[in-house]
A and B are shown apart, each in its own frame.
Chain A
Amino acid sequence: MAEQSLLEAIREGLHEEMARDPAVYMLGEDVALGGPFGVTAGLAEAFGTQRVVNTPISEGAVMGLAIGAAAVGLRPVIEIMFIDFITLAMDQLVNHAAKLHYMSGGQLKIPLTVRVQCGISGNMGAQHSQSLEAWLAHVPGLKVVTPSCPADAKGLIKAAIRDDNPVVFIEHRGLYWARGEAAGAGAAVTPIGEAAVLREGEHITIATFGRQVAAALEAAAELAPQGISAEVIDLRSLQPLDMDTLVESVRKTGRLLVVHEAVSEGGIGAEIAMRVQQAAFYDLDGPILRLAAPFSPIPASSALDRFFVPGKAEILRAVRGAFRRQGAGG
């Protein structure tokens, strides 16, 4: 199987959808030249600057524009350069895109895809590194997805574009150049709302998404020879959450560790823990664990930001700690 980077996979998905459906229409700052990381490079050459449209620097206006265009039947894909700047478009996104279908009695539909890029990488500090997925997942009417590998990146961007609802597609900057198996030309969409069990295990479930998926898989591989068999789930979709897959897994393993790069308070982990304990409390062999960022803005210095991102070492420590305390496993 051929390999590609996550960035190339997103681009391929965008390209295929634009070729398939003339209603797909791209808007964003610098998108015609590829955007700051080159995700949309080549699309303006292929489809013209009338369809891959550079916009003035005005996130709120672009979001509003996209809502207007979506309401008359286009399928706009807008790029917000950093998830941190989505704050400038929150009124249009939260109070309008998410609710117009509902408020108009179902008359209006807003098939809008919002591409945003997030994560700690490159010393970009407090206003260019946040993980704000929980804010977005908190809004009825929005869907939120985030891929961890090229195949899902392509499958999910296609699903987002074809969805008749506003979908926020979150790209982790630290994964753009991570390579993986390519889905291939014309590949199927990845359904929104389905988690992926990437590694089966018996003793603990590690549920995560984005860049932490690779860390969880590495940790699971290291735990196996020590007699701890970890199941790794890539959530992929944060709104809606695939609770069936999660609960089924926890019923089997009896333990759950949720890992995310967003701050702990009010994060996706809290929602998952609540729902899992409700559905599987009597199957749990220990408290649900969470690894997340400290409750602080993100500093720019590498000496500091390394304490923000969980990783393999933290996952190993958390899992081993759980078993040591409970006297189970290796």
Chain B
Amino acid sequence: MDRDQVLQLHIPEPKHRPGELADFSHLRLPLAGEIRRPPIAASAYEIRDLAYELIRVLDDEDRAVGPWAQPLEPAFLLRGLRAMMLTRAYDERMFRAQRQGKTSFYMKCTGEEAVAVAQACAFECGDMFFPTYRQQGLLIARDWPILDMMCQVYSNSADRLKGRQMPVFYSSREAGFFSISGNLGTQFSQAVGWAMASAYRHDRHIASAWIGDGATAEPDFHYALTLAAVYHAPVVLNVVNNQWAISCYQGMAGGDESTFASRGIGYGVPALRVDGNDFLAVYAATRWAAERARSNLGPTLIEHFTYRAAAHSTSDDPGRYRPQDESAKWPLGDPIERLKRHLVAIGAWSDAQHAALVAELDETVRETGRRAEALGTLNAGPLPDPASMFEDVYKEMQPHLKRQRREAGLEPGGTPRPAEGA
């Protein structure tokens, strides 16, 4: 040891910044089909290598190969393709609506569609989702009407959340889609609680939660892993590593030191690391984890290795912190394009059919958008009733809230609010 050596602080920095060319050649990407598929009863320790690998099914010739490739009906895959494409078309439309002032805020999941859509397809009806703001694909894959989603984004008269939540913070009990949290990470512990309640009642349903690479630094990520491991909770915990957390690259959350999947090993939670842009790999890994959970074998942590192709939100400009060409250079391609090419390769789909579906979905979204806008947008048209904002604060309306509603003049025959005490 050099006694004269002074201590130095390490601040992680992304490899490339704006003005430079992106380069992902440092990534070690196993080939499709290369990674083993262990039995679901394997322990975290026995399959620890999988936390550092990358499960891939679609190869460079668009074939589904290896032990994770499962025989799946083309019709099933086409449903997945369609849900991913609808998600993308919906995102495009709502992003534009924000630019037109029809909503205050929007967040796209472009490039990450396979994560939510393939996973929704892998779970069963009645399984409960605890997503982040970037898993709108779960709702779409469960055939939840995009009209309802648009009304939420517009906070309009038909918004089931009554104008209370930020745009994209959907919540649907019917669709098994928990209320989106503004404070990152909280859904992770809540999902474990839901799963434990399901086990407590000897039910058959399992839960799943999602968290971003950045938010794995929040305590709830670690709380959830601890409790899920201790109680063998029937839950599938997902880290969506899309490389960025607003302007911070995944290294800021410790991703350069070890993979996010490997976090699970220390807690004794079996972990898989998956090509998040490969619909078939995401689907297969999720089926594996769901089967584990349903067989009382406990939780699984899955890291989905993907790329946030769009800005963080409508308030963000990635040109300030990452190379312009980074998205184009992403080595794992685009999830929609890859599934489409696979379907073409197996003779279940064609370029012409694909183009027709793009046009059809664009028209669906446009037409639905018109209907949603007729029900109101951020500042125009029919809006939620202000009197309703005093409701639901508590299960039963409290006397002091009734009084405040009256004082605010928000009851029939009320007068505008005077100062208290006057």
Interface residues of A (CB under 8 A from B): 29-30, 32-33, 36, 49-50, 53-61, 82, 84-85, 87-88, 122-128, 257, 264-265, 287-292, 294-297, 299-304, 307, 314, 317-318, 321-322, 325
Q: Does the CB pair A56–B254 fall under 8 Å? A: yes
Q: Which residues of A contact B215 (CB under 8 A)?
A: 57
Given A291-B419, A295-B400, A125 and B166 touching (CB < 8 A)?
A: yes
For the complex formed, measure the closest distance between the CB of B112 and the CB atoms of chain A, giving whole angstroms.
18
A-B pairs, 5 with minimum CB distance: A301-B163, A127-B182, A318-B419, A56-B217, A303-B383
User: In the complex, A55→B321 CA distance in Å?
Assistant: 16
Q: Which residues of B contact A61 (CB under 8 A)?
A: 217, 219
Q: Which residues of B contact A124 (CB under 8 A)?
A: 104-105, 166, 182
Contact of A294 among B104, B169, B245, B401 (CB under 8 A): B401
Selecting from B34-42, B194-202, B335-343, B410-418, the interface stretch reads: B410-418
Interface residues of B (CB under 8 A from A): 9, 11, 13, 104-105, 155, 159, 162-167, 169, 181-184, 214-215, 217-219, 245-248, 252-254, 315, 320-321, 378-379, 383-384, 386, 388-390, 393, 400-401, 404-405, 408, 410, 416-422
User: In the complex, A203→B59 CA distance in Å?
Assistant: 80
Q: Does the CB pair A49–B393 fall under 8 Å? A: no
Q: Does the CB pair B386–A322 fall under 8 Å? A: no
Contact of B247 among A33, A82, A292 (CB under 8 A): A33
Q: Which residues of A contact B163 (CB under 8 A)?
A: 299-301, 303-304
For the complex formed, measure the closest distance between the CB of A185 and the CB atoms of chain B, giving whole angstroms.
28
User: In the complex, A124→B315 CA distance in Å?
Assistant: 12
Given A49-B11, A88-B219, A56 and B253 touching (CB < 8 A)?
A: yes
Q: Does the CB pair B389–A304 fall under 8 Å? A: yes
Q: Does the CB pair A322–B422 fall under 8 Å? A: yes
User: In the complex, A263→B315 CA distance in Å?
Assistant: 28
Q: Which residues of A contact B386 (CB under 8 A)?
A: 303-304, 307
Q: Which residues of B contact A53 (CB under 8 A)?
A: 11
Contact of A126 among B155, B164, B214, B247 (CB under 8 A): B164
Closest to B315 in A: A36
Q: Does the CB pair B419–A295 fall under 8 Å? A: no
Q: Does the CB pair B383–A301 fall under 8 Å? A: yes
User: In the complex, A257→B421 CA distance in Å?
Assistant: 10
User: In the complex, A84→B166 CA distance in Å?
Assistant: 14
Q: Does the CB pair B408–A58 fall under 8 Å? A: no
Q: Does the CB pair A125–B393 fall under 8 Å? A: no
Q: Does the CB pair A85–B384 fall under 8 Å? A: no
Closest to B213 in A: A57
For the complex formed, measure the closest distance between the CB of B18 and the CB atoms of chain A, giving whole angstroms.
11
Q: Which residues of B contact A296 (CB under 8 A)?
A: 389-390, 393, 401, 404
For the complex formed, measure the closest distance between the CB of A65 and the CB atoms of chain B, giving whole angstroms.
12
User: In the complex, A297→B166 CA distance in Å?
Assistant: 13
For the complex formed, measure the closest distance between the CB of B374 and the CB atoms of chain A, giving whole angstroms.
17
Q: Which residues of A contact B214 (CB under 8 A)?
A: 56-57
Q: Does the CB pair B165–A126 fall under 8 Å? A: yes
Q: Does the CB pair B408–A321 fall under 8 Å? A: no
Given A126-B182, A300-B166, A88 and B218 touching (CB < 8 A)?
A: yes
User: In the complex, A223→B411 CA distance in Å?
Assistant: 29
User: In the complex, A290→B315 CA distance in Å?
Assistant: 35
Q: Does the CB pair B169–A125 fall under 8 Å? A: yes
Closest to B418 in A: A321
User: In the complex, A100→B11 CA distance in Å?
Assistant: 28
Q: Which residues of A contact B400 (CB under 8 A)?
A: 265, 295
User: In the complex, A265→B404 CA distance in Å?
Assistant: 12
Q: Does the CB pair A30–B247 fall under 8 Å? A: yes
Supply 17 A–B pairs (Cβ within 8 Å), ascending by A. A30-B247, A33-B321, A53-B11, A57-B214, A88-B218, A123-B378, A125-B169, A125-B182, A126-B182, A264-B420, A291-B420, A294-B389, A302-B155, A304-B384, A317-B417, A317-B418, A322-B422
Q: Does the CB pair A128–B422 fall under 8 Å? A: no
Closest to A288 in B: B421
Q: Which residues of B contact A126 (CB under 8 A)?
A: 164-165, 182
Most chain B beta-carbon neighbours within 10 Å: one of A82, A291, A300 = A300
Q: Does the CB pair A30–B104 fall under 8 Å? A: no
For the complex formed, measure the closest distance between the CB of B414 and the CB atoms of chain A, giving whole angstroms.
12
Contact of B104 among A33, A49, A123, A292 (CB under 8 A): A123
Given A57-B218, A257-B419, A307-B389, A300 and B408 touching (CB < 8 A)?
A: no
Most chain B beta-carbon neighbours within 10 Å: one of A288, A295, A314 = A295
Contact of A290 among B9, B321, B388, B420 (CB under 8 A): B420
Contact of B252 among A56, A82, A314 (CB under 8 A): A56
Q: Which residues of A contact B410 (CB under 8 A)?
A: 307
User: In the complex, A302→B102 CA distance in Å?
Assistant: 12
User: In the complex, A36→B317 CA distance in Å?
Assistant: 11
Q: Does the CB pair A54–B420 fall under 8 Å? A: no
Q: Does the CB pair B164–A301 fall under 8 Å? A: yes
Q: Which residues of B contact A122 (CB under 8 A)?
A: 104-105
For the complex formed, measure the closest distance between the CB of B98 and the CB atoms of chain A, giving whole angstroms.
11
Q: Which residues of A contact B245 (CB under 8 A)?
A: 57
Q: Which residues of A contact B416 (CB under 8 A)?
A: 317
Identify 10 new A-B residue pairs, CB closer than 8 A, beyond the known A122-B104, A125-B165, A296-B401: A29-B248, A57-B215, A57-B253, A123-B166, A127-B166, A288-B421, A296-B404, A299-B162, A301-B159, A301-B163
Q: Does the CB pair A318–B422 fall under 8 Å? A: yes
Q: Which residues of A contact B384 (CB under 8 A)?
A: 299, 301, 303-304
Given A301-B384, A317-B418, A87 and B166 touching (CB < 8 A)?
A: no
Closest to B214 in A: A57
Contact of A318 among B181, B184, B401, B418 (CB under 8 A): B418
Q: Which residues of B contact A265 (CB under 8 A)?
A: 400
User: In the complex, A300→B106 CA distance in Å?
Assistant: 13
Most chain B beta-carbon neighbours within 10 Å: one of A29, A57, A294, A325 = A57
Contact of B248 among A30, A82, A287 (CB under 8 A): A30
Q: Does the CB pair A321–B422 fall under 8 Å? A: yes
For the complex formed, measure the closest distance between the CB of B16 and the CB atoms of chain A, giving whole angstroms.
15
Q: Does the CB pair B408–A307 fall under 8 Å? A: yes
For the complex formed, measure the closest distance between the CB of B321 and the CB atoms of chain A, giving whole angstroms.
6
Q: Which residues of A contact B315 (CB under 8 A)?
A: 36
Q: Which residues of A contact B183 (CB under 8 A)?
A: 84-85, 87-88, 127
Q: Which residues of A contact B405 (CB under 8 A)?
A: 294
Contact of A289 among B162, B182, B422 (CB under 8 A): B422
Q: Does the CB pair A302–B320 fall under 8 Å? A: no
Closest to A317 in B: B418
User: In the complex, A45→B283 CA distance in Å?
Assistant: 44
Q: Which residues of B contact A299 (CB under 8 A)?
A: 162-164, 384, 389
User: In the complex, A88→B181 CA distance in Å?
Assistant: 13
For the complex formed, measure the closest distance between the CB of B113 and the CB atoms of chain A, giving whole angstroms.
24
Q: Which residues of A contact B219 (CB under 8 A)?
A: 58, 60-61, 88
